[in-house]
């Protein structure tokens, strides 16, 4: 049986059309991947100003680092991290997910060495405890990622000790007061809510009538799940600092993040926003993060960032 010539020509034309469409799609995918590979190393510092200090206080600079996801051999990331010391922060806050490789601890500490000279506080993320694994990238868009049943352990105690020996304060389910530049900061931190490990330590306990003296309550967390934001907002935090979301990592220009990898609304996946709960309001800074999983090393419309928060006195 033979097709009429006109039908055969139409079939051939449709075949060429499908082939062209497939080729264009493949080329677009390749271009997007190449761009995402490039953008992951376009490090930026986001600057924010927040008037929350007691009246008459001098400006106070907080450098917020999150989701470094360090891998040995990341020279450009190392150089950029070391250059952040030029900002001369009054405090460094590290909200976890420092690692993306079992052998990353020593080179990470070397990359952070200039910043370890400044006062700091920290909490862990899941990728400080466990190494990432290869998985279907499409799964990231189906909701918050799930911990593996048999995760690959990382040497978090070694990294925690390195931070602690440099003077940074571990806030893993802990609270502690620190006087910085003449002002008392009351910190309260939790273990990673993404793993369900948060346990609330309240605010530091001090001398009688301590709340009558100027102070600032700062909550430090890795993953900004709503239940944790609600807790600290209702507990009277003056500021909440978080990471985990990567700002969405793969975003749509003009729209923003498609996912937050937690129950945070996607429009809050990066930036400084007010969080409200039961009549209380607290500013929350969510970092877009510095790195990516080593198995998904791309960023699109979401450049890696550190955040410099300049706290100023209330009007």
Q: Where are the domains of the chain?
A: 1-39, 44-313
pLDDT at 33: 74
CATH H superfamily, domain 44-313: Metallo-dependent phosphatases (3.60.21.10)
Positive or negative, the CA dihedral 106, 110, 116, 122 is negative
Contact between 311 and 272 (Cβ < 8 Å): no
Q: Residue 122's pLDDT is what?
A: 99
Contact 82, 114 (CB under 8 A): yes
Most confident listed range (143-157, 174-188, 205-219): 174-188
Contacts of 188 (CB under 8 A, 6+ apart): 171, 174, 175, 200, 201, 202, 203, 204, 217, 218, 219, 220, 232, 235, 237
> What does the pLDDT read at residue 25?
47
Helical ranges in 218-303 per DSSP H: 226-234
d(CA 172, CA 192): 8
pLDDT digits (tens, 9 = 90+) for 108-153: 999 999 999 999 999 999 999 999 887 655 555 566 776 666 678 9
- What pLDDT does residue 147 have? 65
Choose the weakest-confidence range: 142-156, 157-171, 191-205, 276-290: 142-156
Position 13 pLDDT exceeds 60? no
- The DSSP bridge partners found for residue 283 are 274
DSSP-derived secondary structure letter, 114: T
CB 232 within 8 A of CB 218: no
The pLDDT-based confidence of 156 (bands split at 50, 70, 90) is: very high
Percent helix / strand / coil, the chain, rounded to 5: 30, 25, 45
Q: What is the pLDDT of residue 123?
A: 98
């Amino acid at each position: 049986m033979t097709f009429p010539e006109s039908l055969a020509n139409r079939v051939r034309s449709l075949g060429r059309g499908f082939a062209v469409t497939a080729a264009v799609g493949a080329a677009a995918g390749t271009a997007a991947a190449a761009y995402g590979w490039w953008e992951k190393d376009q490090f930026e510092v986001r600057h924010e100003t927040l008037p929350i200090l007691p009246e008459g206080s001098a400006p106070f600079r907080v450098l917020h680092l999150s989701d470094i996801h360090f891998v040995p051999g990341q020279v450009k990331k190392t150089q950029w991290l070391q250059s952040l010391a030029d900002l001369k922060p009054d405090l460094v806050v590290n909200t976890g997910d420092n690692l993306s490789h079992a052998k990353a601890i020593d080179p990470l500490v070397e990359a952070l060495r200039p910043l370890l000279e400044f006062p700091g506080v920290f909490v862990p993320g899941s990728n400080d405890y466990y190494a990432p694994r290869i998985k279907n990238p499409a799964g990231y868009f189906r909701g918050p990622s799930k911990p593996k049943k048999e995760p690959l352990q990382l040497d978090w105690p070694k990294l925690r000790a390195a931070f602690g020996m440099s003077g940074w304060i571990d806030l893993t389910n802990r609270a502690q007061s620190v006087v910085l530049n003449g002002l008392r900061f009351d910190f309260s931190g939790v273990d990673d809510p993404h793993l369900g490990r948060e346990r609330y330590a309240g605010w530091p306990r001090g001398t009688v009538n301590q709340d009558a003296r100027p102070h600032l309550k700062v909550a430090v967390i890795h993953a900004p799940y709503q239940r944790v934001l609600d807790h600290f907002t209702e507990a009277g935090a003056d500021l909440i600092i978080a990471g985990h979301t990567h700002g969405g990592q793969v975003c749509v220009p003009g729209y923003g993040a498609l996912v937050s990898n937690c129950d945070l609304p996607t429009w809050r996946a990066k930036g400084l926003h007010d969080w409200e709960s039961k009549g209380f309001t607290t500013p929350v800074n969510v970092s877009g993060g510095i790195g990516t999983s080593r198995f998904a090393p791309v960023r699109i419309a979401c450049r890696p960032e550190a955040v410099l928060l300049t706290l100023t006195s209330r009007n």
